[in-house]
Amino acid sequence: MKVHYRTSVVESAREPLDIAVGLAASGLFDTTVIHEAADEWSVAGGVAAEVIVDAKSIRCTSLGVTREEPWFGEPLTAVQKFLADLPISDWTAYGWCAFELAHAIAGMTLEEGTLLHLVIPETEIRLTGSRILLRSLESGALAAAEDMLARIAADSVPAESLPVQVDLESNAETYRLSVAALIEEIRAGKLQKAILSREIPVGTEIDFPASYRRGRLANTPARSFLLDMGGLRCFGFSPESVVEVSADRRVSSQPLAGTRALTGDPHLDHKLREDLLSDPKELHEHAISVKVAVDELVGPCKPDSVFVEEYMSVKERGSVQHLASRVVGQMPEEASPWDAFAAVFPAVTASGVPKRAAYQAIQRHEQNRRGLYAGAVLKVAEDGAMDAALVLRSVYAQGGRAWLRAGAGIVERSHPDRELEETREKLRCVATSLLACAKGTGTTASGTGTVRTGSHD
């Protein structure tokens, strides 16, 4: 017998962003996810069920009962089975997967660390315009969420804390040398393209909800998100989707490759855009990415249903502008959204071509495990819909440290200095939005409140 969500609907004149941030900062939930799609904001709070995959095992919890077992072959089959067997009606799962999940899918040797973490929330709030739908498995949690929404609606937006200064030159010379070495490998025929990234430490404690709000007001992402799950905190402004699957099995992927700065000066931005649209290196890099996206979607989709719906437009994403395309297809009725995800993940625009050779190049030239960077933030529904957004333009915190990370696509025509500058352009999408926690207030990145509802962690 399945359990069902209790629901209520309220109206609010407050902006969905302010309501979502207010809920994240309230301390109402031990686990919180904000997910913004094109026309809806979702806030997931607490844990009714969850699945965590690491290099060796899959740990599943449902309504307080936990089991752990090894996975074999690849872990997504076990994840799909767990979700299919959930004793919860009309569920939606939220969470993330690490870049290294791709190594598991490819059958490569794995390092320690979480590969995937999804939660089915105890309480879920969906914001569409002025309408707020609240759902909870517990009547007490539903009442607590309604009370918190009333308080948020009555409060003004809190004053912002001091901006955080970040040294964007950290690891610059090491990055130049890595790019130069990879260019030589490409010229030697070992691969065609790989995305190399560099990590930038942040030495100040960050107010995650306030920083997310500030950054969202300054960015124009395809998706935005804020996570506070299992000791990992992250917010970001995804420039593209890895894969989108509708309930009727229509599949879409949006590769972005090719970058120039977006300065705010209309004349200069137009000049940079024209330069982007005529640069042979950028055009070549983008064309490779689109071809790979088409080839990958052919696998899970019906024959002859895959086509390029949009080709080489320019999308503005915060402090940068990108060449963008969209590839679509139709899966058969019996297919799962995880089939499309496994075919496309990780995004070619954050890995390389061929992908396996790119994974190996990334392991050789980057200093540490990527984790959530270049992975995906996931929203998966019982009806088969899936939204997987590429995790870039983000800030991360775990284990007492915080950091940023950005990369650039390296091909034979690349130049180390230009690729380094591209990482700076991308880092500014987030670096300029960081706000410090207020001193002496007890503020943490998880919020200031003390009210918490039942979590089954």
pTM comes to: 0.91
Please spell the DSSP secondary structure of 31-90, one letter per residue: SEEEEE-SS-EEEEES-SEEEEEESSEEEEEETTEEEEEE--S-THHHHHHHHHT-SBTT
pLDDT class of 442 with cuts at 50, 70, 90: very low
**Does the annotation mark 240 as catalytic?**
yes
Has residue 454 got a pLDDT over 70? no
Strand extents, DSSP E, 302-420:
307-317, 320-330, 352-353, 376-381, 386-390, 394-398, 401-410
Domain boundaries, the chain: 11-431
Has residue 397 got a pLDDT over 90? yes
- The CA-atom distances, in angstroms, between 220 and each of 29, 217, 270, 404, 430 are 28, 8, 18, 19, 12
Q: Which of 447, 383, 453 is nearest to 122 (CA)?
A: 453
DSSP 384: S
pLDDT in tens, 187-200: 999 999 999 999 99
Residue 348 to residue 295: CA distance in whole angstroms? 11
- What are the φ and ψ backbone dihedral angles of 234, each rounded to 5 degrees? -160, 145
Q: What is the predicted pLDDT for the residue at 451?
A: 30
Which tokens sit at 349? 């625009």
Rounded mean pLDDT of 257-283?
91
Tell me, rounded to whole angstroms, the distance of Cα 172 from its chain centroid: 25
Has residue 1 got a pLDDT over 80? yes
Tell me, rounded to whole angstroms, the distance of Cα 316 from its chain centroid: 18
Rounded mean pLDDT of 74-85?
95
Domain 11-431, CATH number (from 3.40.50.300, 2.30.30.280, 3.40.250.10, 3.60.120.10): 3.60.120.10
Which tokens sit at 454? 């039942």
pLDDT class of 352 with cuts at 50, 70, 90: very high
Which tokens sit at 64? 């307080």
In the chain, the amino acid numbered 59 is R
* Percent of the chain clearing pLDDT 90 (strictly above): 83
Has residue 29 got a pLDDT over 80? yes
Has residue 455 got a pLDDT over 70? no
* Percent of the chain clearing pLDDT 70 (strictly above): 95
Name every residue whose Cβ is closer than 8 Å to that of residue 356 and which is 6 or more positions away in sequence: 106, 108
Q: What is the predicted pLDDT for the residue at 243?
A: 96
Q: What is the predicted pLDDT for the residue at 155?
A: 74
Indicate the average pLDDT of the chain.
92
Residue 100 to residue 369: CA distance in whole angstroms? 8
Omega prior to 158 cis, within 30 of 0? no
Q: What is the predicted pLDDT for the residue at 157?
A: 67
- The CA-atom distances, in angstroms, between 441 and each of 23, 151, 438 are 18, 20, 6
User: What count of other Cβ atoms lies within 10 Å of the Cβ of residue 223?
Assistant: 23
Q: What is the predicted pLDDT for the residue at 133?
A: 97
Rounded mean pLDDT of 335-359?
95
Out of 50, 199, 240, 244, the active site residue is 240
**One-letter-per-residue 3-state SS of 101-168:** HHHHHCCCCCCCCEEEEEEECCEEEEEECCEEEEEECCHHHHHHHHHHHHHHHHCCCCCCCCECCCCC
Which tokens sit at 408? 């650039």
